[in-house]
Amino acid sequence: MVLIADTSPLISLIIINKSDILKKLFPDFLLPLAVWEELDSHVQLKSYAKELNFLYQHVKILKGNQLIIPGIDKGETEAIQLYIELGVNILLIDDKKARSIAELMDIKCIGTLALLTLAKKKGLIKTLKPLFNQLLKHKRFFSKKLLNEILLMNDEKELG
């Protein structure tokens, strides 16, 4: 099963030191070049050289015509285009607008929280709560209410 990843989930995974679960869950994951460029130029990630070098090995350069989707950024657009071009299985994306557009195109999407939940179910991580605390600490865009709902569904205590 092949996964194409967008920038935002990768940033979240890097800052909570869980980018390795991508390779464990989806050994053949890919990144569009635009996603790599966004990661490589992201100020918050400058101290994560090891993680960035690991991700660079999975960059895929697009061939052919560039898709233009108004209202979403280049990384999200290239992720959608790669999904279509390569006929992959799943798109890792968090942005609501871009995800809605992808889903209208019959693209199967998951987000960071679903990926972490899957990793827990597969035994790759023990608990979600400390990771969710880190996401909040680093000001990632997840509501506390949603995080608590996921924790309760996974038999964990709510965030304080």
Give the per-residue pLDDT at 158.
94
Q: What is the Cα–Cα distance from 41 to 35, expressed in whole angstroms?
A: 10
Going from N- to C-terminal start, the domains of the chain cover 3-113
Of all helices (H) and strands (E), which one includes residue 31? strand 31-32
Give the per-residue pLDDT at 48.
86
Report how far apart, in Å, the C-alpha atoms of 90 and of each of 3, 26, 94, 96 are. Answer: 5, 10, 13, 16
pLDDT in tens, 54-72: 888 887 766 545 777 888 8
Enter the CATH code of domain 3-113. Answer: 3.40.50.1010
What is the pTM (predicted TM-score) of this model? Answer: 0.90
Q: What is the Cα–Cα distance from 100 to 98, expressed in whole angstroms?
A: 5
pLDDT in tens, 5-22: 999 999 999 999 999 999
pLDDT at 1 over 90: no
